[in-house]
Amino acid sequence: MAVHRLTLDDARRIAVHAQHLDEPRPTDLVETVERLTMLQIDPTAAIAPSADLVLWSRLGNTYRPEHLTRAVEHERTLHETVAYVRPARDVPTVIAEWVGREFHPAIIEWLEANEQFRRDILARLIAEGPLLSRDIPDTSAVPWPSSGWTNNRNVTKMLESMARRGQIAVSGRKGRQRYWDLAERVYGDGFELPTHEEATSLRNERRLESLGIARATGPELPGEQAYVGAAGEPAEVEGVPGAWRVHPAYLGVPSTFTGRAALLSPFDQLIHNRVRAEQLWGYEYILEMYKPKEKRRWGYFALPILHHDRLVGKLDAQGDRKAGRLLVNAVHEDVRFTQRVRRDVDREIASLAEWLGLELVTP
């Protein structure tokens, strides 16, 4: 198969288009998540929860958080899995891909030692579900050992382990707390898993559909992967060493690309793989919420700024709902903003404040 030779501009425009960050904006929530394949759930809401920011940056001010809740909890067109919201059609492949891909071997031993605990949870959900984790007794024989915050959080650890394996599912939320129920009550009847190999191949195709251009392989980490195996077609990017895979449906995008300004969540898939962001855009980003204030360069929860096919800066802002304000601390320019870039970015910041229902306060 011939290798596609792309300029850096080509690669960037393919990636931006694949993530629904060009013009025209998408208009349908479920179709947007279908394209993105998932929304990462993170409790940090310095401005707004990440999943909502990702959808707002695509759909604009017509999007409301209650639309996502309705799709997940009532229409069941989307499902919450552990740490993500995903299209309903992707859930079987996500579960099947997880099987045999456990990153922490110790958990297999822990699950075997707590088989009766797992059965107790299933029995409780059959009789009483859906239930919050606080309503499920801890009957574990062996506590979960951890040096971190999950130490001895046995019920949550077991629930999440069972959900990853398709035995139970998240059926809804009460604030930040999740309701758990039997998988068939949430996902419906006829829920069949492909083989691990089939799932991996399908998931690679879906990842490339979402990313547009990606590496075939790389360091595997817990969570969503950024690599696409043999999906798509081989490509080279001018000035960037190494091989890439590109989605063939997007090869014509560079000639028709129309860009816009966008403010991105730190967990947005356009920039979430920091190595890819540096290689394709020369963009450096670190989420600094865990750093002491005096050591932050860009802010507690700085939003990456996209302008057309360039990542141009970071927005340091904070939503103060009690005061009814969106406080802009700084707009960090990675490159000097032209008048057009400044105008477009300012307009997007004002749109963010309007969407949040907050007064915009600038330095």
Per-residue pLDDT tens listing for the chain (363 residues):
799 999 999 999 999 999 999 999 999 999 999 999 999 999 888 999 999 999 999 999 999 999 999 999 999 999 999 999 999 999 999 999 987 676 677 888 999 999 999 999 999 999 998 999 999 999 999 998 865 555 568 999 999 999 999 999 999 999 899 999 999 999 998 778 999 999 999 999 999 999 999 999 998 777 788 999 999 999 999 999 999 999 999 999 999 999 999 999 999 999 999 999 999 999 999 999 999 999 999 999 999 999 999 999 999 999 999 999 999 999 999 999 999 999 999 999 999 999 999 999 998
Output the pLDDT for position 146.
65
Count of alpha carbons within 13 angstroms of residue 50, beta-carbon side: 20
- What letter would DSSP give residue 293? G
As a whole number of angstroms, the distance between CA 38 and CA 114 comes to 31
Query: Which of 203, 212, 288, 296 is CA-nearest to residue 254?
Result: 212
If residue 328 lies in a helix (H) or strand (E), which one and from where to where?
strand 325-333
Give CA torsion, residues 259, 69, 130, 176, to 10 deg: 80
Q: Where are the alpha helices (DSSP H) in the chain?
A: 8-18, 29-36, 50-59, 65-73, 91-98, 105-113, 115-128, 154-164, 183-187, 196-211, 253-256, 274-281, 339-356
Query: Which of 85, 21, 7 is CA-nearest to residue 271?
Result: 21
- What letter would DSSP give residue 336? P
C-alpha 140: how far from its chain's center? 32
Query: Which of 199, 163, 169, 173 is CA-nearest to residue 184?
Result: 169
Residue 64's CB is within 10 A of a number of other CB atoms, namely 15
Query: Which of 272, 269, 276 is CA-nearest to residue 286?
Result: 272
Give CA torsion, residues 219, 222, 223, 229, to 10 deg: 30
Q: Using one digit for the tens of pLDDT, what is the confidence trace for 175-216?
A: 899 999 999 999 998 778 999 999 999 999 999 999 999 999
Which residues on neighbouring strands pair with residue 234, listed in sequence order?
Answer: 245
- Are 361 and 327 a contacting pair, CB within 8 Å? yes
Output the pLDDT for position 325.
97
- Are 300 and 264 a contacting pair, CB within 8 Å? no
First and final CA of the chain: distance in angstroms?
A: 54
Stated pTM of the model: 0.95
Can the peptide bond before residue 130 be classed as cis, meaning omega within 30 degrees of 0?
A: yes
Output the pLDDT for position 5.
98
Output the pLDDT for position 152.
61
